Amino acid sequence: MAKGNEPLLNSTLPPPFLIDSSHIGLITTYTMVFIAGVCGVIKMSFLLVRMNTLSVTTTAVINLVVIHSFFLVTVPFRLYYYATDKWTFGLPFCKFVSGMIHFHMYLTFLFYMIFLVIRCLIFFQWKDKVEFYRNLHAVATSTAVWILAFVIVAPIVWCTYGTTGTYGNNTCFRFHQELERAPVKVLNYVLITVMVSITCTLLGLQVFMLLKVVKKLSGTVWSHQEFWAQLKSFFFVWVIMFCFLPHHFFRIYFIEHVNDQQLDTVNEIFLSITAISCLDLFSFVISGSNILRQRISALSCC
């Protein structure tokens, strides 16, 4: 029984072992994301020099490299915070770093969707190839996307994000009180519905295309370039399902239980899973290796 002069423990605080284990997991995840992500961005940057810049697919990959680079710059600040459990860079910069992971997720999803839609158009022979007429058109299209994201959307989010609740200067990434606002709830439900619907559609198309290619090819499918092309397309759908959808499914529950402080830590874990999408370029480069293809083909023959 607690004595009268002893303060009662706050039952809403997460237990210490949950805090310690979650920070270790977050540090491990973001460290892996930072190292592999930087390697992937550097390697892909060299490969893009030799690729057709008029291709819409190449333009999407270039923009993917850019958004990954922007996000990776903010990762060391997250690692510092999780290691020290103290934010020393001020609330405005905390809002920037916190919002950057959401911008990274949705812009990455947009470029994935562009890539997959182009693959569908080519597969069903609606287009032999999808290219811009001039390099200026590719630059203008990319510029329009970035203007929409960082000149129109970002200022609106900046002016409304982190303004409802009371947040300390020594803590960061805990803007859960914003979810209590009705417009924010509606926006989140709309984003969840749109992402899940598009992902299910793309998954169905990719499964259909992959099965059709396997049925058409004879012999070992691992030795055919067309099969590898479809496998790369399916890889992007897998990244969406593994990295983005778990966070959105959890957010449905989190919105309705926003005052549960233990869910703050769980939400950070699911957000860190979205950052694993930075490994796509690294995996994309590895999967394109001729040596890897030969070894897989040899294993399938055995």
Domain tally, the chain: 1
The CATH number of the domain where 32 resides is what? 1.20.1070.10
Residue 1 lies in a domain: no
pLDDT of residue 126: 54
46: CB partners within 8 A, 6+ apart = none
pLDDT of residue 43: 86
- Which parts of the chain sit beneath pLDDT 70? 1-20, 52-54, 126-135, 137, 156, 158-169, 217-225, 227, 284-302
Residue 65 lies in a domain: yes
Domain span holding position 44? 16-301
Q: CA end-to-end span of the chain, whole Å?
A: 69
Residue 45 lies in a domain: yes
CA separation for the pair 131, 55 (Å, rounded): 4
User: For residue range 41-60, what is the model confidence (pLDDT) as tens digits?
Assistant: 998 888 877 776 667 778 88
Q: Are 278 and 33 in contact (CB under 8 A)?
A: yes
pLDDT of residue 75: 95
Report H helices in the chain: 16-48, 56-84, 91-123, 135-147, 154-160, 182-216, 225-239, 245-256, 261-275, 280-287, 290-301
The strand pairing partners of 131, in sequence order, are 55
Residue 290 lies in a domain: yes
Residue 221 lies in a domain: yes
What pTM does this model have?
0.82
CA separation for the pair 62, 279 (Å, rounded): 15
